[in-house]
Amino acid sequence: MIDLYTWSTPNGRKISIALEELELPYRVHTVDITRDAQFAPEFLAISPNNKIPAIVDRDAGVTLMESGAILIYLAEKCGRLLASERNARLATLEWLMWQMGGFGPMLGQAHHFVHFNPDKSEYARERYASEARRLYGVLDRRLADRAYVAGDDYSIADIAIWPWAARHAWQAIALPDYPHVLRWYRDIASRPAVMRGYSVPTPADIPLP
């Protein structure tokens, strides 16, 4: 049994979606980051950077924080969603790292300065709004001639990127401006495992442009 420590954010949903796709049994522990539950000593013992998501795989004796590391662990545990063939594996890890280093952190800043506090700093609002548009452009070009970000197969790279794209409205992004992203987004949104994973830890409707 895997214990999942999570909240209803893109990083948290990556892991519940992966667990649903991989059909792994798991128990959800809600960590309400709006009430500082991430700073509780019991949680810090599992996730020393005080952020969700984190997992404890009790059968394997594994405790992990950082969503990218957790996705790789779960994929390798099941032998799915991360190709073993070298080039396909590298493409998956490449786009997973792109999400971890760029698409997630930059869009997280867009949520602060474009959605929640657009009047705090015009410089920051424009910086993160334009960076969001640039990143969606990169993703659109990547998806122009392949079904999924790493190629023909759905992978943990898609699972890492997709929940951030689900917050497109907060990023002032109109998905129809990125037709290849829109096609990919809708395709993944229709997966039953994604619908189930998106509703962890609380029921939520997937935005569908």
Ligand X SMILES: N[C@@H](CCC(=O)N[C@@H](CS)C(=O)NCC(=O)O)C(=O)O
Binding site for ligand X (CB under 6 A): 9, 11, 33, 38, 50-53, 66-67
Residue closer to ligand X by CB (options 65, 147) is 65
CB of 145 to ligand X, least distance (A): 28
Closest among 106, 39, 19 to 52, alpha carbons compared: 39
CB of 10 to ligand X, least distance (A): 6
CB of 117 to ligand X, least distance (A): 16
Helix (H, G, I), strand (E, B) or coil at 82: coil
Give the CA distances from residue 159 to residues 17, 53, 100, 172, in Å, rounded to whole numbers and listed in that order.
7, 14, 12, 22
Kindly report each contact of residues 185-192 with a partner whose C-beta sits within 8 Å and lies 24 or more positions away, as own/partner: 185/209, 187/147, 188/154, 188/158, 188/162, 189/162, 191/21
In contact, 107 and 164? CB cutoff 8 Å: yes
Sign of the alpha-carbon torsion through 182, 184, 185, 190: positive
Residue closer to ligand X by CB (options 147, 206) is 206
Residue closer to ligand X by CB (options 149, 182) is 149
Pairing relationship of beta strands 54-57 and 62-65 according to DSSP bridges: antiparallel
Residue closer to ligand X by CB (options 104, 131) is 104
Closest among 39, 40, 46, 49 to 5, alpha carbons compared: 46
CB of 32 to ligand X, least distance (A): 10
CB of 15 to ligand X, least distance (A): 9
User: At how many degrees (to 10) do helices 122-143 and 179-189 cross?
Assistant: 80
CB of 182 to ligand X, least distance (A): 24
Residue closer to ligand X by CB (options 11, 21) is 11
Residue closer to ligand X by CB (options 7, 184) is 7
Residues constituting the chain: 209
